[in-house]
Amino acid sequence: MCWNTQLSCLVHRRRRGRRRRRRRRRQSQCKQMNTNMKTRTKRSFSSMDFSWCLSFPIIVHFLLLVSLVCPVLSSSSSPPSTEVGNGNDPVSNQTLRPQEELKKFNFIRNHLQKINKPAVKTIESPDGDIIDCVVTHQQPAFDHPQLKGQKPLDAPERPEGYKHEVEERSEEFQVWSMSGEYCPEGTIPIRRTTQEDILRASSVSTFGRKLRSRVRRDTNSNGHEHAVGYVNGEEYYGAKASINVWAPRVTNQYEFSLSQMWVISGSFGNDLNTIEAGWQVSPELYGDSYPRFFTYWTSDAYQATGCYNLLCSGFVQTNNRIAIGAAISPTSSYHGGQFDISLLIWKDPKHGNWWLEFGSGVLVGYWPSVLFTHLRNHGSMVQFGGEIVNSRQSGYHTSTQMGSGHFAGEGFGKASYFRNMQVVDWDNNLVPLSNLKVLADHPNCYDIQGGINRVWGNYFYYGGPGRNVRCP
The residue from 101, 284, 357, 387 that is catalytic is 387
Return mean pLDDT, the chain. Answer: 83
pLDDT for res 451 = 97
Encode pLDDT of 384-435 as tens digits: 999 999 999 889 999 999 999 999 999 999 999 999 999 999 999 999 999 9
CA pair distance 232, 236, nearest whole angstrom: 8
222 — pLDDT class (breaks 50, 70, 90): confident
Query: Which of 344, 340, 354, 347 lies closest to 306 in space, CA to CA?
Result: 354
Encode pLDDT of 42-73 as tens digits: 333 333 343 333 333 333 333 333 333 333 32
Q: Which residues have C-beta within 8 Å of that of residue 222, sequence separation ≥ 6?
A: 212, 213, 214
Q: Is the pLDDT of residue 256 over 90?
A: yes
CA pair distance 410, 39, nearest whole angstrom: 87
Share of the chain above pLDDT 90, in %: 69
469 — pLDDT class (breaks 50, 70, 90): very high
Q: Is the pLDDT of residue 13 over 90?
A: no
Share of the chain above pLDDT 70, in %: 76
204 — pLDDT class (breaks 50, 70, 90): confident
- The sign one gets for the Cα dihedral 222, 250, 333, 405 is positive
205 — pLDDT class (breaks 50, 70, 90): confident
Q: Is the pLDDT of residue 85 over 60?
A: no
pLDDT for res 212 = 67
The residue from 167, 225, 276, 284 that is catalytic is 276
Of 89-98, 333-342, 380-389, 429-438, the range with the lowest mean pLDDT is: 89-98
162 — pLDDT class (breaks 50, 70, 90): confident
Known catalytic membership, residue 387: yes
Q: Is the pLDDT of residue 29 over 90?
A: no
The total number of residues written for the chain in this structure:
472
Peptide bond into 71 cis (omega under 30): no
pLDDT for res 132 = 98
Q: Which residues have C-beta within 8 Å of that of residue 427, sequence separation ≥ 6?
A: 160
pLDDT for res 197 = 96
pLDDT for res 15 = 56
Domains of the chain, earliest start first: 221-463 (2.60.120)
In Å, the largest CA–CA distance within the chain is 139
342 — pLDDT class (breaks 50, 70, 90): very high
Known catalytic membership, residue 100: no
Q: Is the pLDDT of residue 83 over 70?
A: no
CA pair distance 426, 161, nearest whole angstrom: 13
Encode pLDDT of 447-456 as tens digits: 999 999 999 9
Strand-by-strand arrangement of the 121-124 sheet:
121-124, 130-135, 187-191
pLDDT for res 18 = 58
Cα-flanking dihedrals φ and ψ of residue 142, to 5°?
A: -85, 10
User: What is the helix (H) or strand (E) element at residue 9, kind and residue range?
Assistant: helix 2-38
Of 198-202, 225-229, 415-419, the range with the lowest mean pLDDT is: 198-202
Query: Which of 430, 436, 438 lies closest to 461 in space, CA to CA?
Result: 438
CA pair distance 217, 324, nearest whole angstrom: 27
Query: Mean pLDDT, to the nearest integer, of 175-193?
Result: 95
DSSP 132: E
DSSP for 285-340, written as a single string:
HHSS---EEEEEEESSTTSSS-EETTSSS--EE--SS--TTPBB-S---TTS---E
pTM, rounded to two decimals: 0.78
Encode pLDDT of 266-317 as tens digits: 988 899 999 999 999 999 999 999 999 999 999 999 999 999 999 999 999 9
16 — pLDDT class (breaks 50, 70, 90): low
98 — pLDDT class (breaks 50, 70, 90): confident
User: What is the helix (H) or strand (E) element at residue 431, kind and residue range?
Assistant: strand 430-432
Burial track 65-87 (b if 16+ CB lie within 10 A, e otherwise): eeeeeeeeeebeebbbbbebbee
Residues forming a β-bridge with 244: 340
pLDDT for res 298 = 97
Q: Which residues have C-beta within 8 Å of that of residue 361, sequence separation ≥ 6?
A: 158, 164, 170
